[in-house]
Every structure is written in structure tokens, then in C-alpha cells.
Amino acid sequence: MGIMKKFDDFLDEQLQEAEFKKAYDDLQPEFDVIRAIVDARTSQNLTQKQLAEKTGINQSDISKLENGTRNPSVNLLKRLADGMGMVLKIEFVPKRKI
């Protein structure tokens, strides 16, 4: 069994606990932003250093965004998108009924 499979099984088990699930759900938007930044950058075959050069954003700040130790402003997200030849799209979607 691969490491990710073991992790997924562990996560599924932990999500059965209400307190853990609430904390996990509360962090989901931050995880989504991080994943979107990394996915967009890698889809353009850019390193953090190359993205820094294109945007004028310090490479260490891009690293902090990608590892979750810094929350980006909308303006910063727009600069990242522009540096990757993309536009920023933010949307509100209805909550799922549980």
C-alpha cells in the first residue's frame, strides 16, 4: 500500500470525528488557494524563482504562500496570475447540504 493510500485512509478515518472534520473544513479554503497557486505555476513549467522574476514577488514569499505560512491578498494573487499569463477568478458557491 502506497504512502498516499495510507494517508487517505487515515484522513477518512479522522474525518469521521466531528471536531476534526470542522477544523479540516475550516482550513479547506486555504488548502484550495495553495493548491491553485502550485498547480498554476507547475502547469506553466515555472520554478518559484522564475515566477518571482516574472512577478517581482520575492521567491521566499512565493515559497511561504505555497507552504501555507503566508496568506495572500487578492492583489498578490492577481500579480501571480498575471505573471503566469492567467487571470484570477474567485467564486462563491452554495454550501453543500449535509
The confidence score (pLDDT) of residue 8 equals: 83
Q: Is the model's pLDDT at 1 over the cut of 70?
A: no
Given phi > 0 = left and psi -120 to 50 = alpha, else beta, which region is 28? alpha
Task: Kindly give the residue spans of alpha helices, DSSP state H, lying in the chain.
Answer: 3-14, 18-43, 48-55, 59-66, 74-83
The confidence score (pLDDT) of residue 98 equals: 61
pTM of the predicted model, to two decimals? 0.78
Residue scoring higher pLDDT (25 or 87): 87
Q: What is the pLDDT of residues 17-74, one digit of tens each?
A: 999 989 988 888 999 999 999 999 999 999 999 999 999 999 999 999 999 999 999 9
Name the residue ranges covered by the structural domains of the chain: 28-83
The confidence score (pLDDT) of residue 4 equals: 65
What CATH class is the domain 28-83?
Answer: mainly alpha
